[in-house]
Structure 1
Amino acid sequence: MTTRAQLIEELIDTGRQLVERGLVQASGGNLSARLDDGDRFVVTASGTWLGRLGPDDFCDLTADGEQVGGSRRPSVEWKLHQRTYAVRDDVRAVVHLHPQHVLLVDMLGAPIRFTTLDHQFYVGSVGWVPFHPAGSQALADAAAEAARDHDAVVLAHHGCSALGDSVPMALRRAFNLEEAATMTYRLLLLGNTTSDFPREWLGRIIEI
């Protein structure tokens, strides 16, 4: 059983790693984790910088979105997290960020190519939703619908969400999604639009 305090420490460490790797800037992005009772989740508070998180930078919300803990307002994107949890019982953590290469490839109108074994195993596919205003119910609903079939979702002109059955897995998926997008972008710069993971191995990836 993972306690609330342990989840908070994992989220604090996740925020630090995301900033160190350049996947978010300043107060961009937000993080959440579902508590073991399944009826509540914690999410970063509004305006928090992910590289400077502390135990007081989180709010507790019920599965219905009612704030039941924390002295600050939750992130404007709390609905994005709440709706994703509602449609995916297996998801225990959501990492929402604004990575540069994911957005670049999307704005070029190209699909992200998952060209390595790690990319295929940890992400494999990505959902996509058109632009909706940040914090809107429309964005939360569209992202949740895409999350039914994918563990990563690109939000056009905004960012992405990476999901996991734990905080470390959501972080691992976020890293692999941005790395896949970075490799795709570099291939496009070189004029390559065809290189991809061997099709004969798709669906046959063993655990790594």
Structure 2
Amino acid sequence: MRGRGIPPITSTGSNRNSTPARFDGLAHMSLGRYMSLNKRSEENDDSWSVPKFSKSDFNLKSKQEVAKPKSDKKEQKIKSIVDVLDNYNEDGDLAIIIEFSGFEFSNTTFTKVDCKSDSSSFSIPINYKEKESQLFITTSEGFFKYRIKKSQYNCLYKDDIFIPKLLKEYDSLSMTATLKNNWIIVTYKKR
């Protein structure tokens, strides 16, 4: 056990809790690079001169040169609004109406896509950020799904909606998809 008068030695070999020597005034504080490199003023030997800097000393560019140009195009974000309607027409069909924003349709007709025997799927080409992509609409086991894909593995946007009426009242395999005034109308016939 050590006595109180001997401070313990740390791994660096210096004493722990050692107090630095104290000097009068502010001489013990770091003066910084610019203050320590400047010469003393000639009027008073006890004061340090404050350096005066101009923009040319630091080779700074003006704010106008550094600022990035503003883009006129807003970032295109894909958004959708979905509405489900019972008794859409005289036959009492179920309709799902989707309004998309953030891309343009390249074609006006949907193409039926081969898929599992218990589901229906359609696709349509779209232009998103001036690149060709595909919008896929699928119905499977009561779920209505839509996805926007650039490639097989790159999904840009997706959403799944569970519609219980597709399991009991309506036939999911009777799905048809049409495009009218940039609205997608998907209909299902009653069983």
TM-score tier after normalising by the smaller chain length: under 0.3
Query: TM-score scaled to structure 1, two decimals?
Result: 0.22
- Structure with more contact order per residue of length (Cα contacts < 8 Å, sep ≥ 6): 1
Higher CA-based Rg: 2
Bigger fraction of residues in helix: 1
